[in-house]
Structure 1
Amino acid sequence: MEKALSKILVPIGFSEQSLLALQQAVLFGKAMKAKLYLLSVLEESSLLDRIFSQDEETEVKLRKTLEEKLEQLAIETRNNSGLEVEYLISKGTVYEEIAKTVELLDADLVVMGTNGRPSNFRKRFVGSNAYRTVTAVKPPVLVVKGVNNPNSVSRIIFPVMTDPKSREKTPTVIHFARLFKAKVVFVGLFTTGEEREKLLPILRQLDRVFEDAGIPHETHLKQVTSSNKKIEELLEFSYSQNGDIIAITEEGEEPDLATRLLGTDVQEVLYYSEIPVLAITPRRVIYGGIIGS
């Protein structure tokens, strides 16, 4: 087997979503010639939990059981996929341990599952592990809800808005489109005629960039009924186009109080998308000669 060129970190909590995310990690691992690292996090309990329900012996037993399950999953994944697979266990807050492990490994991609929108106030305030991970790490994060899990990546949805940040995912999308020989589907989202006019030169520029890169692509313009409906209509468009993943841009900053309470477009896509979402933090990268900032 060829030497692994990339590293993919896959957080595993043994939920249905995390195991479906592992399937997507295998798909990406084969395309990237990557090594998979399975990470399970023993979440730190509260002080009261430690006092009343969990002693050191209990934690040792829990860690041993977790290690046995994780080792078995790594072996099965290795045998079924032909990829190199290792596993790690850490203790702490899930998204913080993921971020630390990403830095330790210098991972190229994180693939993780999500249950969707947090159901209670505390979790909405803190944010889901998926969203907190997206804002805490530098490499792209593929977030998988598991409703529609593609067996291949042939169509990548690329939302375009007048905000320059929406285009900063270009180098990463080109990289993955080349790996999978996928078509990129641009969708320019606008609410007013003025926004539409601003989008036209942006879409023409993207057309030239992807044409020069040799990436097949098509362009659509979609008027949304209101800014509040933007994400809902983007997702409906993505499903109608048989999109396999949606590529979005994340600023890579810790959410402030207002963001935690009111949410962001990124959160809404992560929570509600039935197809995997590739969240990309812009940075200076070079993929196949295309430079992004």
Structure 2
Amino acid sequence: MILVTGGAGFIGSNFVLDWLAQGNVAVLNVDKLTYAGNLGNLATLKDDTRHTFVLADICDHEKMRALLDTYKPTAIVHFAAESHVDRSIQGPAEFIRTNINGTFSLLEAARAYWSGLEAGDQQQFRFLHVSTDEAYGSLEAGDAPFSETTAYAPNSPYSASKAASDHLVRAYFHTYGLPTLTTNCSNNYGPNHFPEKLIPLMIAYALAGKDLPIYGDGRQIRDWLYVGDHCAALRLVLADGVPGETYNIGAQNQKTNLDVVVTLCDILDELKPLAPGKSYRQQIVHVADRPGHDRRYAIDTGKIERELGWRPVEAFDTGIRKTVQWYLDTQT
């Protein structure tokens, strides 16, 4: 069995579904079920005995210790986090609590559990911490993509809290020998995405006939990674990654926010057309930019490609079409 935190959220639920589709190693899924957690994401596992769900908070150290001692997982895959930049600007306290204090609580529980294992089990155990490229800060137009050695320079309370959690994970490997792995991924998209992030929000607003608000000039650049590709990379890192190492995961699909929204509009024009002469593009409006808005992210995936042989399968054009179709099939 492996323990997955935040397994009812967007990336976590996709990982759990993919994990169980790939094999028979059971999953203990621990989630607090805040606003972004949704057990409906896991509805297909309702009668699957390989999936055990526990409603719990990673900040509850004693609960985490008890779960580890009871279920004896061979690995922890840590997704649980507050992750929305706008929310972190409006209310940073919960980001500090969950992302920093929660990761600390989980690391302490994992260290105590791991310390009590037999030598062979200790060698096999892994703590995989799933993080973000936003910890690296912002790139200018001509800057090289983020690599695993890029200095951290977070610019929002969210990215600062994730950077702090990354440092804690690193420290627990170097200080205690806990066999940790860290991944820093680019912007994910795909099924089950909570509709506060750009792609699901724009799809929902477009279908509802609302304005499609674009921050500033819309020229902020992100590297868009299909969630299924991310999950495949995580499975590979968990299986073959070297303890203490960090692996960047991206798709080299650099798109401006405006280009992404225009693409969504064009796909919707084709799949769910408006009245003749109308286009979803007409709903696009520009609004005041948010504070500290990073201009560009880009990921150098050379390390995970060279060392683990991973490459993304989904092109942006195919992945975004699949995503729009999924929302049309499930949300309308």
Please state which band the TM-score falls in when normalised by the shorter chain: 0.3 to 0.5
> Which of structures 1 and 2 has the larger relative contact order (alpha carbons within 8 angstroms, sep 6+)?
1
Higher strand share: 1
- Please give the TM-score of this superposition, normalised by the length of structure 2: 0.30
- Please give the TM-score of this superposition, normalised by the length of structure 1: 0.34
